[in-house]
A and B are shown apart, each in its own frame.
Chain A
Amino acid sequence: MKLKSTALIASLLLACGASNAVTLRVANQGDVQSMDPHSLNESLQLSFDTNVYEPLVGRGKDMSVVPVLATKWGQTSPTVWRFELRKGVKFHDGTPFSADDVVFSFKRAADPGSDMRGYVAPIKDVRKVNDHTVDIETVSPFPILPDTLTVFSMMSKKWCEENKAERPVDRRKGIENTASFKANGTGPFRLKERQPSVRTVIVRNFNYWDKIEGNIDEIVFTPIANDATRVAALLSGELDVMEPVPLQDVERVKSSGSYTVLQGAELRTIFLGMDQKRDELLSSSVKGKNPFKDKRVRQAFYQAIDEETIKARVMRGAATPTAEMVGPGVRGFQPDMNKRLGHDVEAAKKLMADAGYPNGFEVGMNCPNDRYVNDAAICQAVAANLARIGVKVNLTAETKNTYFPKILRRDTSFYMLGWTPSTADAHDALYNLMATPTEQGRGQYNLGSYSNPKLDELTTKIQTETDQAKRAEMIKEAFKIHQDDIGHIPLHQQALAWAYGKNVTLTQLPTNYMYFKWVTLKAKENAR
């Protein structure tokens, strides 16, 4: 009898345990393309996969660099870094994590099929010192190595070999790869079910090396591409968290009473660029010379654009106007320099007249229409602003699939771009956006070829300067040069928009990463 009742209680407890499992239902506009953390350099995939796989070094809630699979690190010489690995960490299949896995993961990330190659390019060699220590040697002194390492994750050598997944999927050769739909990481969650484009389920890893702050046992991730459906699914109680909230629905979701919308500034900065290289613009009424080479014209454009109105009308408040090419959260952002030149049509007209264009001119503008929040609408607003100083803008707005190849060919005179420094460090923006383009790939997104040798020199120094105080000074100087030259016209940082039930607490990072280990879901008082 006693036995029976004990069994009964036990089974009741089990049943309760099962029904009390905390499930978080999450939707995003897109799907995670692959479970393979090295296969695609896209923030949604990296964000999701980082709950399953972990890097050596991660980001804290304040974007600071924190230990994850490495417990401490330091430089043993200007080009060599020693990383102490965390002991007692196990992959989801039970294999212990060791230095061999680290060496293997770096090799895998450098494979031609890998999308992480850019991040491991500064690395010359990774050497195992002992089971829990590795040395990483860089090609040249590389002060932001830990920042770079936050982006890519460690995989199990044994598991990858057993599953013939030693290399990331190579779309060119047409061979599928197990790591695309299976996963074996060290992260706080394990992959339970993967139905591409339908649902992906991850469950809590009870053998996780750290205490998990949140209380989520299971995450059901669903892509819902259609904005209206995604909002409807949230409001009808079928979801706990969804992002992004379309700007026009933010008020509606808030006013429902049971949902919160969290709008934090994203790291991405939206800006306009101008061709300052060609002697005659590709598409302009001005022949024989390039008006953008004249700083007065660039400044006139800057001051003619009414960013406050763009923020209020086009972005419905969900933007932070900026005067810099990187936003808060990026190392090197200068709070004291973040003051835009005032919106002043008269001053702009005068500058145009001084530059020899009292009646303005005609110029073509290129813009994506499906890449950034309200991108095409922003460009329309800019065109309307510029009309007031006599500049007639011929706007071409097109899909990102045709837009990016075109502007990367530098087939543009005036364009829009958004940029998130993937290392969260100013050097990334200086090197890619502001420095003079070279054959080696510097300035490859400096599509208007803005050029100032002093800035180039500083960029090179910043790359290898290991004294952080000196480095910070140089970044400031470089930003000042760019701002004084009006190399580009920064517009704003767009806002992220996550919506979630009032019973959910979570942390939003400016990188738009969603860490489920920080999510807590309180049981609702009344079941639906």
Chain B
Amino acid sequence: MLVFVLRRLVQAAIVMLTVAFIAFMLFQYVGDPVTNILGQDATPEQRQQLRADLGLDKPFPVQFARFVSKAVQGEFGLSLRQGRKVSSLIVERLPATLELSMSAALLALLLGIPMGVYAALRRGTFLSQTMMTLSLLGVSLPTFLIGILLILVFAVTLKWLPSFGRGEVTALGHWTTGLLTVDGWKHLILPAITLAVFQLTLIMRLVRAEMLEVLRADYIKFARARGLSDRAVYFGHALKNTLVPVITITGLQLGALIAFAIITETVFQWPGMGLLFIQAVNFADIPVMAAYLCLIALIFVVINLTVDLLYFAVDPRLRIEKSTGGH
């Protein structure tokens, strides 16, 4: 077990380094923040000086080495755009992104699983057909379109919900939350739905497919033969076995939710990390971009590691195979 964890940690470190390396390679093409910082009235010497001071005139390997040695200490420098510490910018934005992604994940799970089960059990009914058709829309419509449509309907036409921002937030130490005020909840609804739609349809389709598969299995037939109630068969046996792959996918998708919140955050001006990243790209704010990409890589690595460890804990077969030395 320990060896397994250690090996995964080493792999994680390599992944992180690779991400940082690729990110840095990309920065060579993002452009030059110097003209953005200095504006039109600076002299060529001032620009050259700033470029040198920021280390942008150094060859790529030198820049990269400097970045890694600082990043290891958790130091990403100052945002070129805002003149503030990148670490504090990220800490400030993290709660908004996490709150949004978690709400979306919960929404997707709480609606997706029951809908999937229903669509599997009541195959062919009007309702489940409708759900399947709608889910196709959910999978194929791009996120920004869903967001804009929701804004158009609920904000512009009906004027029920706000179209942008996070609303009133309460500060709890370093953490800010919008969940303690009505205004905060109102602001959360549309972005959370927008972000959840894709995951929801994915989970629903997955649950349905798995459920249909499981229902054909022998042990379900035996369970029925034993005279168990529908309820015990469906929810006690079938659903339980359906959930193993669902948990894996959901776990992995959580990382995607955090990373791909970018689009939702842009559409709703949600002050999270994704928005921070987009703004950084527009300005060629390299320290912020680098820190964001590394953080997202870290989140993915941690989630993957956790999922692997969960597998170890949940699936007894993995453990047996290990202890018998494998066949």
Contacts and interface: CB of A to CB of B under 8 A. Distances in A.
A197 B43 contact: no
B118 interface: no
Nearest to B41: A118
A64 to B, nearest CB: 22
B269 interface: yes
16 contacts: A33-B82, A34-B82, A42-B39, A176-B85, A177-B83, A198-B271, A225-B275, A226-B266, A228-B267, A232-B155, A232-B163, A236-B151, A400-B36, A401-B30, A402-B31, A408-B35
A175 B92 CA distance: 18
Given A169-B83, A180-B83, A405-B34, A444 B43 contact: yes
B164 to A, nearest CB: 5
Interface in A39-91: 39-42
Contact of A174 (B32, B78, B276): B78
A237 B159 contact: yes
Interface in A6-52: 31, 33-34, 36, 39-42
B54 interface: yes
Contacts of B271: 195, 197-198
Nearest to A237: B159
Given A197-B279, A401-B283, A419-B40, A223 B163 contact: no
A308 B156 CA distance: 35
B244 to A, nearest CB: 39
Given A226-B266, A238-B162, A405 B31 contact: yes
A34 B83 contact: yes
B42 interface: yes
Q: Most chain-B CB neighbours within 10 Å: which of A34, A119, A238? A: A238
A321 B84 CA distance: 41
Nearest to B75: A174
A405 B275 contact: no
Nearest to A199: B165
A524 interface: no
Contacts of A175: 78
A372 interface: no
B279 A176 contact: no
A176 B155 contact: no
B31 A226 contact: no
Interface in A255-307: none
A233 interface: yes
Interface string B156-169: 10010011111000
B284 interface: yes
B283 A196 contact: no
B214 interface: no
B163 A41 contact: no
A445 to B, nearest CB: 7
Which of the four size classes fits the interface of chain B? 35 or more
Given A402-B32, A404-B32, A33 B43 contact: no
A223 B45 CA distance: 33
B211 interface: no
B90 to A, nearest CB: 12
A2 interface: no
Contacts of B81: 33
B40 A422 contact: yes
Contacts of A432: 40
Contacts of A401: 30-33, 35-36, 282-284
A115 B32 CA distance: 17
A330 B211 CA distance: 72
B82 A180 contact: yes
Contact of A198 (B37, B165, B266, B283): B165
A228 B148 contact: yes
Contacts of A233: 155, 163-164
A218 to B, nearest CB: 15
A229 interface: yes
Contacts of B279: 31, 197, 225
Contacts of B306: none
A420 B283 CA distance: 20
Contact of B268 (A177, A195, A229): A229
B28 to A, nearest CB: 10
Contacts of B54: 171-172
Interface string B72-116: 000001111111110001001000000000000000000000000
Contacts of A181: 84
B165 A171 contact: no
Contact of B84 (A40, A41, A196): A196
Contacts of A235: 156
Chain A's interface: helix, strand, loop or mixed, by majority?
A: loop
A423 to B, nearest CB: 9
Nearest to A198: B271
A175 B79 CA distance: 11
A155 B62 CA distance: 39
A172 B53 contact: yes
Given A224-B269, A236-B163, A33 B83 contact: yes
Interface in B253-284: 266-269, 271, 275-276, 278-279, 282-284
Contacts of A404: 32, 35
A386 to B, nearest CB: 27
Contacts of A41: 38-42
A224 B155 CA distance: 15
B43 A441 contact: yes
Given A222-B164, A401-B30, A236 B80 contact: no
Given A115-B42, A117-B46, A401-B283, 15 more contacts: A40-B37, A40-B39, A115-B38, A171-B37, A171-B80, A197-B279, A228-B151, A233-B155, A236-B159, A238-B163, A401-B31, A401-B36, A402-B29, A405-B31, A405-B32
B220 interface: no
B83 A171 contact: yes
Interface string B218-259: 000000000000000000000000000000000000000000
B152 interface: yes
A399 B283 CA distance: 10
B282 to A, nearest CB: 7
A176 B46 CA distance: 21
Interface in B46-72: 46-47, 50, 53-54
Contacts of A238: 155, 162-164
A400 B41 contact: no
Contact of A399 (B31, B42, B159, B163): B31
B45 to A, nearest CB: 8
B286 to A, nearest CB: 10
A251 interface: no
B44 interface: yes
A115 B35 CA distance: 11
A176 B84 contact: yes
Given A41-B41, A171-B54, A176-B84, A229 B267 contact: yes
Nearest to A41: B39
Interface in A198-229: 198-199, 222-226, 228-229
A514 B48 CA distance: 33
Contacts of A444: 43-44
A195 B93 CA distance: 11
